[in-house]
Amino acid sequence: MPAQFHPAGLLSFSETDRSPLSIRARALVFIDPRSRQLRDQVESLAPARQPLLIRGESGTGKELLARHVHKHSERSGLFVAVNGGALSKAHGAAELFGHSAGYPAGPSSRAGWLGSAQGGTLYLDEIADLPLSLQQRLLEVLQQGAVWREGASQAQAVDVRLIAASSLDLALAVRAGKFNAALFELLQAGQVDLPALRQRPGDILALAEYFLGVYSQRLELPLPLLSEAAEAALQAYHWPGNTRELENVVHFALLVSQGQSIRADDLQIRGY
């Protein structure tokens, strides 16, 4: 049985934290050799100013990896996370690029998500969900280093490092006419692939121990051990929901477990 991975000293929680665990509070647990290789790769890319594309299935932890890149980039500005599919259909351009005072999106001027990340990093999740018109404008911002806010009479200089993420194959989206080819070429130059959890099995037990430590600390519960049967069940499962599913399974198991160990029956995963 591996040593317990306890987060003491790594994390602190407030009363406003909710489950599943906030991405901001997570540590990057990369134990598998494939994961360590990826970590080294992104840390070598972190100081660069060029955009970065992280590809990976839903639930693999793309935003967490993006935050790790930002942390090692030495950029002084904020890390701003935006979901491309969550932008307003009516005012998406104003939300992303900002708007001047009196523009229909609001009575006062706003910097937008892009302006909020000035000097830092804009993480744009599911970039393929952006309408083609916004994809083109984003490309122009990246190429020119300046942004036109909605309703503005002149452009403003911006210094923002873009980290985009997608669970889709953007090359296929380009061929289908659903993604800007020039934007894809720009992003592809800095592309990294985040493997699914089933492709990095060395991380499974380490992550399970990590989440057990996190939630036992957060809920003020005794820290249980994983039984050998539970470990076997975790390693045998294929994790279609990736790290997010593992976190939920471990959290539930901690709540329902009896005694000082977690049994396979406590895990409530399909097939067990």
What the chain holds in terms of domains, given with CATH numbers, is: 33-195 (3.40.50.300), 198-266 (1.10.8.60)
Token couple for 56: 């990976």
Q: What is the mean pLDDT of residues 191-195?
A: 96
A 10 A CB-CB count for 87 gives 20
Residue 75 scores a pLDDT above 60: yes
Say if CB 35 and CB 200 are below 8 A apart: yes
Amino acid type, 45: L
Residue 15 scores a pLDDT above 50: no
Token couple for 53: 């594309």
A 10 A CB-CB count for 178 gives 15
Confidence class of residue 197 from pLDDT cuts 50, 70 and 90? very high
Q: Of 49-53, 86-90, 188-192, give the lowest mean pLDDT range.
A: 86-90
Q: Which residues make beta-bridge pairs with 165? A: 54
Residue 5 scores a pLDDT above 60: no
* Rounded-to-integer distance, Cα 146 and Cα 164, Å: 18
pLDDT at 102: 59
Q: What is the mean pLDDT of residues 173-184?
A: 97
Residue 265 scores a pLDDT above 70: yes
Average per-residue pLDDT in the chain? 86
DSSP label at residue 222: -
22 φ, ψ to 5°? -55, 135
pLDDT at 89: 80
Say if CB 83 and CB 127 are below 8 A apart: no
Q: What is the mean pLDDT of residues 53-67?
A: 96
* 253-259, Cβ contacts within 8 angstroms, sequence gap of 24 or more: 254/212, 254/215, 254/216, 254/219, 254/221, 254/224, 255/219, 257/224, 259/224
